[in-house]
Structure formats: structure tokens, C-alpha cells
Amino acid sequence: MAEQEKTQALVRSRDKKLLLVANKYHLCGFDDQASASGPGQWRGLEIGSCEEEAASSAGSEAACQIEETRISTGKELKFTIQQQQQQWCFPQGLEEHEQEQEQEKDFFDLLPDHLMIEILVRVDTPNWPMLACVHRRWAAMFRGDGLWQTALTKRWPHAGSAKRWPGPISRGSSKRRYTALHASDSLLTSNSAGGENACGNVVDEVVGHVYLFLKEKLELAAPSCSYGLLHGTMIDQFLACGKKSDEAHDLASQIWVVVLGNLEESESTFHLLMRIAEEWEVFLPYPYSKSHAVQWRLFERLFTDFRDCLSQFDYFHVLSQAKHKFELIPPAWLGY
């Protein structure tokens, strides 16, 4: 009996040690419920008799010591790896790294918005899309209205002198007004010089807005109105702003030529040009009639840029339309 009690005491002592080790280092595979139900339950193994437990008690104690040594060695190794990773990420230490980040802080982040806007508007306009990609704060400024209003005032000081804006085409926000004025100066031939007077400013801005209006309508897959009605809307806008019939007709023609020339070479553009060629057979009175230059540019693009898209039937049909409109046909247009 004394030997059995001694053996059971050794088993209970071993199980307590294993339970302490498992709770401390979270060893996988230890069953707490099995350990609590009675001695000898660990990792699904059962100790049958006291004699077998007595024979293996010395080996169990040695295994427990080896396991504790392995766990402490693994913990030290994990701590060493963490220190090494921290040393790789921050070679000079975390505090020195934070100090360097404070020193390397962008100077532009310290500037208020109104000073940052004053800097951005002095950059050339073609570079603005790249500036918007540099910094999130700069991109937010370009999305807002403050930067565009400042740029509009600096480049065209008298742009807001005209209070009335008649006509079917709206003026829009400061960004749209700046875009319209920039388009009229860059892409179109305008008689006014940079908006030095109120009348010239209105004409320049009207030209830009009409250009944007036509460009956006032609880019739609299915325009809400016919192309003849678009042309009439452009003429009405110029007439509402005080232009004469000849001037309105010439400006609308210039805008059509520029927009048709800037359309990309794609299947949608080919179908667009074919629809315009078919629709423009309708006669309209002056100044709503289509100019010779616009029709020439339309057929020129069909016969040069989109010749491969034309079927045999479409080619001869478009060619007959061109011969009906023009006295002389260029040799480059001939030949299917």
C-alpha cells in the first residue's frame, strides 16, 4: 500500500507540473478537462496501472524538464527575432526614426490652404493634372472651387465683369468657366486678347462654353437631340450674346472643325460621323446652315481616317454625297 500511495503521489505531482507549464506557455494538445477529471490524462494518453506509472515516472519528470527547457529556448528565440526585425525596420531605433520623420515632414503640409492655392495657380495649366496626383491635399484643392476661383481672377481679372449671361448654354462653376476660357485661348482663334475689356471677355467665354457644350454632346453614345439642333443651339447662344449672324456662323464653324478634328479614331467615332453625314442633308436657312469647311472636314475624316471601316456600299454612298456637295474631289478620297 505504501508503494501504491507513493506512485499515485508522483503521478499527481507530474500532472500539476504539466498543467502549470501548459497554462503558462499555452501548449497545444493539453486537455484541461481531462486533467481535471483525474490523474494520468494528458494528450489523450491513459495510465492504466500503478506499476506502469511507477516505472515511467522518472522518465516523465525528465521529459517535463526537457519540455520546459524547449519552451524557454523558443521564447528567447522569438524575442531575439522580434528585436532583429525591429532593428531591420528602424536601424537607429524607434525614437530616432520618429525624430527623423518629424524633421523630414513636408514643408507644404505646414502651409495654410490659401497660401498653397497661391503657389499652385502659378504653375502652368497643362501641368495641373500631374500636380493633382502628387498629394491628396492638392487633389482635394483641385476638386474644390476655391482654387479655380483664384486662378480665374488672376488670369482673367475682368472675367466677372459681365453680370448677364443669356442664352441656352449655362455658364457653370468657376472650374467650368476657367476651362472654357482656357479652351478659347488655346484651341480656337479668338479676336479678343485675354479679356482686357468686358465685351471681349464675354465673347471669349462664350466661345469656350460653346466648345465644351458641343464636345460633351458628341462624346455621348446617344445624344438627346439631333446634330442639327445642336448646331442651332450654338448659333442661338452667340446671337443671344450680341454677335451678328456672320460672326455667329463663323464661330460655330470654327468650333465644329476643331471638335471633329480632335475626335479619337474609334468605331464609335466612325458611326458618329456617318450619322452626321446622313443628317446634314437637311437644308437649313442662314446662319443655321452648315458651312463648307465643316462638311469638308467631316468627309475628309471619313475618307482618310476611317476608309477601312467603310463597306463597299457605304463608300460609294458617302462618295456620292461628297460629289453632290463639292465640285472637286481630292484624288486621295477616290478608290475603294
Tell me the mean pLDDT per 10 residues along the chain, length 336: 62 56 45 42 41 49 55 56 53 56 65 90 91 90 92 82 79 90 74 41 75 92 80 93 91 94 92 89 81 93 93 93 90 86
User: What pLDDT shows up at residue 86?
Assistant: 53
User: What pLDDT shows up at residue 100?
Assistant: 60
Residue type at position 133: C
Contacts 24+ apart (CB under 8 A), 112-116: 113/141, 113/146, 114/146, 116/141
Residue recorded with cell 516523465:
60
Backbone angles phi, psi at 21, to 5 degrees: -65, -40
User: What pLDDT shows up at residue 15?
Assistant: 55
User: What pLDDT shows up at residue 96?
Assistant: 61
C-beta of residue 113 within 8 angstroms of C-beta of residue 141 = yes
Burial 273-290 (b: 16+ CB within 10 A, else e): bbebbeebeeeeeebbeb
- Taking residue 104's Cβ as centre, other Cβ atoms within 10 Å add up to 7
User: What pLDDT shows up at residue 16?
Assistant: 60
Cα-based distances in Å from 92 to 55, 85, 104, 106, 191: 56, 12, 16, 21, 65
As a whole number of angstroms, the distance between CA 125 and CA 156 comes to: 14
Nearest alpha-carbon partner for 300 in 319, 283, 316: 319
Give the model confidence (pLDDT) of 10-27 as tens digits: 556 655 654 554 454 444
Q: Where are the domains of the chain?
A: 1-27+50-74, 144-333
User: What pLDDT shows up at residue 63?
Assistant: 54
Give the model confidence (pLDDT) of 101-135 as tens digits: 555 556 777 888 889 999 999 999 889 999 999 88
